[in-house]
Amino acid sequence: MTVATQPQTARIPVKGGARRPRRVRRLFGRLLPLGPALLLLAIFFAGPLIWSVYTAFTNMALSGSASTQFTGLENFRRMFSDPAFVKSLELTVLFVIGSAVIGQNLLGMLLALILRGRNAIVRTIVNGVVIGAWVVPEVVAGFAWYAFLYKTGTLNSLLHHIGLSQDWLYSMPMLAVILANTWRGTAFSMLVYSAALSDVPPELLEAAAVDGASSWKRLRYVTVPLIRRSIVSNLMLITLQTLASFGLIYVMTGGGPGNASSTTPLYMYQEAFQFYQLGYGTAMALVLLVLGALFSLIYLRLIKLEDS
């Protein structure tokens, strides 16, 4: 190994520039451990991403790559004049806002707040069930919700007495998958907010209470501004995760009935892997990535506004 072995303190800044070969060799030696990870990320992650940018502008189909032609913006033109795709995009946004931004985020916050300082047994039991929903593999979560909402399932036998029972997966498939995803993901937001809340200094809240601030005002003007960075990182992570959600919806409704719950990942799967339109599917994947970036930009913007 070419790493310098002289007794040196570790935190020597590596200066840029290659004035002497020895320095270059040392820098190379220090970067060597990054190699395997970078190689894997480049081949299996960055590579396909860059490849996807190219593929999105071709008419690539699975049948044979020989006939692949560069078609420019054709895929994108086709996409936005395809009513099924536009609908899938709307459903995706609805799914993200309904289940991540509102469902998981607010419910996670509520649970974190309401469980603070409760009896340890209550906390353990409630945490256990909420985290249980998060730990269960998504396919199993899909089965559980399918059975829960089925015609003769648990929910309907409970609602039977007040005459509200119906086939939820047909009458309101989007609400069904939004509830299921909220159920599954709330634990993550709850854990993030519990950790963030434990860093809020008690004195500040006490002082606000002495000044006569109501609990709502203490939450709005003391707690939330103090944990806003956690809120933004949490929103960003759960948004990106929800945007890509496939298995849960696929198991519960398969995108149906018709395409009533076919979010962009499901529609993309159908076009790319069932109709073998790889180029078209990849173009959709790019749109999905752009949508994720847009959401992230909005969140980062919000934190900037709050800072100034």
Please identify, using beta-carbon distances, which residue of 86 and 204 lies nearer to other proteins. 204
Shortest Å distance, C-beta 215 to other proteins? 4
- Report the DSSP beta bridge partners of residue 58: 70
DSSP letters spanning 133-188: HHHS-HHHHHHHHHHHHSTTSHHHHHHGGGT----HHHH-HHHHHHHHHHHHHHHH
Shortest Å distance, C-beta 73 to other proteins? 18
Q: How many CB atoms lie within 10 A of CB 74?
A: 16
Please identify, using beta-carbon distances, which residue of 85 and 183 lies nearer to other proteins. 183
Q: What would the two tokens of residue 195 be? A: 């950790």
Please identify, using beta-carbon distances, which residue of 108 and 259 lies nearer to other proteins. 108
Helix 105-115, helix 228-243: angle, nearest 10: 140
Q: Provide, for the chain, the percentages of residues in helix, strand and coil under a 3-state DSSP scheme, each rounded to the nearest 5.
A: 75, 0, 25
Shortest Å distance, C-beta 203 to other proteins? 8
Nearest to 105 by CA among 203, 229, 201, 193: 193
Please identify, using beta-carbon distances, which residue of 141 and 259 lies nearer to other proteins. 141
Shortest Å distance, C-beta 49 to other proteins? 6
Shortest Å distance, C-beta 82 to other proteins? 16
Q: How far apart are the first and last CA of the chain?
A: 49
Shortest Å distance, C-beta 129 to other proteins? 5
Please identify, using beta-carbon distances, which residue of 30 and 77 lies nearer to other proteins. 30
Shortest Å distance, C-beta 150 to other proteins? 4
Please identify, using beta-carbon distances, which residue of 48 and 257 lies nearer to other proteins. 48
Nearest to 145 by CA among 159, 155, 160: 155
- Report the DSSP beta bridge partners of residue 70: 58
Q: Which residues contact 135 (CB under 8 A, 6 or more apart)?
A: 187
Please identify, using beta-carbon distances, which residue of 8 and 81 lies nearer to other proteins. 8
